[in-house]
Homo-oligomer: A and B are copies of this chain.
Amino acid sequence: MVTDRDQVLRAAASLLVRNHGASMTEVAEAAGISRATLHRVVPNRDALLDQLLWLGLGETVAALTTAEPETGEPLAALHRVILALTPVAELFRFVTTQPLDETTPEFQVGYHALDERLTALFRRGQASGAFRSDLPATWMVDALASLLFAAALAARAGRLPGNDNPRAVIDLLVGGVTRGETE
Complex CA–CA separation, A132 to B173 (angstroms): 13
Complex CA–CA separation, A149 to B146 (angstroms): 9
Query: A75 contacts B171, CB within 8 Å?
Result: no
Complex CA–CA separation, A160 to B138 (angstroms): 9
Query: B174 contacts A135, CB within 8 Å?
Result: no
- A161 and chain B: residue at smallest CB distance: B136
Complex CA–CA separation, A180 to B182 (angstroms): 13
In the assembled complex, which residues on chain B have CB atoms less than 8 Å from the CB atom of A149? Answer: 146
- A140 and chain B: residue at smallest CB distance: B172
A-B contact sample (18 more), CB < 8 A, given A136-B168, A174-B176, A174-B182: A75-B182, A135-B171, A138-B154, A138-B159, A139-B151, A139-B159, A139-B172, A140-B172, A143-B150, A143-B168, A146-B149, A147-B147, A171-B176, A172-B176, A173-B176, A175-B177, A175-B179, A179-B179
Most chain B CB inside 10 Å of its own CB: which residue of A21, A139, A151: A139
In the assembled complex, which residues on chain B have CB atoms less than 8 Å from the CB atom of A20? Answer: 19-21
In the assembled complex, which residues on chain B have CB atoms less than 8 Å from the CB atom of A34? Answer: none
In the assembled complex, which residues on chain B have CB atoms less than 8 Å from the CB atom of A147? Answer: 143, 146-147
Chain A residues with CB under 8 Å of chain B are 19-21, 75, 132, 134-136, 138-140, 142-143, 145-147, 149-151, 153-154, 159-160, 167-168, 170-182
In the assembled complex, which residues on chain B have CB atoms less than 8 Å from the CB atom of A134? Answer: 171
10 closest pairs, A vs B, by CB? A21-B21, A172-B176, A146-B150, A175-B176, A176-B176, A175-B179, A146-B146, A175-B175, A142-B150, A142-B154
- In angstroms, how far is the closest chain B Cβ from the Cβ of A18? 9
